[in-house]
């Protein structure tokens, strides 16, 4: 599927305007080099960052395939580096991460202007930033970012027992997500069976997904409802 709503960052057009006032629509940064700052997840030469409700919903390749289904606002970030808004390249200070479930504080730089701070230099906070997102909202790219989040815990060696195995379905029945006892999930969308498959883990009321396409996502269970990527699932 091609990009139906695409824009270079900071381009003053209809897409940029909608991205600044998303009205609860997810925002997808697609096609950039993604530096997560999370050693468990790693980095991608070309991947996507999905933002919704002020938090990072998913990170990795393949998220663009759901753009039309989920009514995303899509911003083309090809030729840029997408990384946490708070970055310390010296390794001595606090940095944010692009981890699903963390606050969406994201900066986008053109490749030619991407951080290249020599060893011992101060944390990178300048350069030609094309796009700044703070708490899920596009801000003036010259502003100083704030806020960060912890790195996710490592993937467990084994699958701990949990009460959430079974099939979870959205209110309209369009998405069907089966959480298998072996730590795998299988998600169908409309007429597409197994549209997404991969691994999952549950810790408390949180579920983390690592899709076979390579992207990460998360959800939360509250009062018998699975909240994931802006959808509400109930067990069938």
Q: Which of 201, 186, 198 is nearest to 154 (CA)?
A: 201
The answer to whether 97 touches 59, Cβ cutoff 8 Å, is no
The pair phi, psi for residue 105, each rounded to 5°, is -115, 105
Q: What is the 3-state secondary structure (H, E, C) of 155-193?
A: CCCCCCCCCCCEEEEECCCCEEEEECCCCEEEEEECCEE
pTM of the model as a whole: 0.71
Euclidean distance between CA atoms 141 and 118, whole angstroms: 23
Looking at every residue in the chain, the average pLDDT score rounds to 79
- Rounded average pLDDT over 98-126: 63
Residue 55 has pLDDT above 70, yes or no: yes
Whether residue 93 is predicted with pLDDT greater than 90 in this model: the reply is no
Q: Residue 219 above 90 pLDDT?
A: yes
Three-state DSSP class for 50?
A: strand
136 versus 178: which is more confidently predicted?
A: 178
> How would residue 79 be classed by pLDDT, with cut points 50, 70 and 90?
confident
Share of the chain above pLDDT 90, in %: 53
Which residue did the predictor score with more confidence, 119 or 42?
42
Predicted local distance difference test score (pLDDT) of residue 214: 81
| CB neighbours of residue 128 within 10 Å | 10
For residue 51, what pLDDT band results from cuts at 50, 70 and 90?
Answer: very high
Over 80: is that where the pLDDT of 160 sits? no
Mean pLDDT, residues 73-88 taken together: 85
Query: Which range among 148-157, 200-209, 221-230 shows the weakest confidence by mean pLDDT?
Result: 148-157
Averaged pLDDT, 26-41: 94
């Amino acid at each position: 599927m091609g990009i139906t709503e695409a824009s270079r960052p900071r381009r003053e057009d209809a897409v940029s305007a909608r991205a600044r006032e998303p009205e609860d629509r997810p925002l997808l940064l697609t096609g950039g080099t993604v530096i997560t700052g999370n050693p468990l997840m790693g980095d991608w030469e070309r991947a996507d960052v999905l933002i919704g409700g002020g938090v990072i919903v998913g990170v990795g390749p393949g998220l663009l395939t759901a753009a039309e289904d989920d009514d995303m606002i899509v911003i083309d970030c090809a030729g840029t580096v997408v990384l946490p808004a708070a970055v310390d390249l010296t390794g001595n200070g606090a940095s944010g991460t692009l981890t699903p479930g963390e606050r969406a504080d994201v900066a986008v730089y053109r490749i030619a202007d991407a951080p290249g701070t020599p060893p011992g230099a101060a944390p990178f906070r300048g350069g030609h930033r094309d796009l700044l997102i703070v708490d899920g909202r596009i801000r003036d790219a010259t502003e100083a970012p704030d806020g960060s989040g912890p790195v996710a815990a490592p993937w467990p060696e084994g699958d701990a027992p949990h009460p959430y195995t079974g099939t979870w379905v959205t209110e309209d029945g369009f998405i069907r997500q089966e959480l298998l006892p072996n730590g795998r999930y299988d998600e169908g969308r409309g007429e597409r069976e197994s549209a997404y498959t991969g691994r999952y883990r549950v810790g408390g009321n949180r579920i983390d997904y690592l899709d076979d396409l390579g992207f990460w996502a998360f959800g939360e269970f509250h009062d018998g409802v699975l909240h994931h990527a802006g959808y509400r699932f109930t067990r069938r």
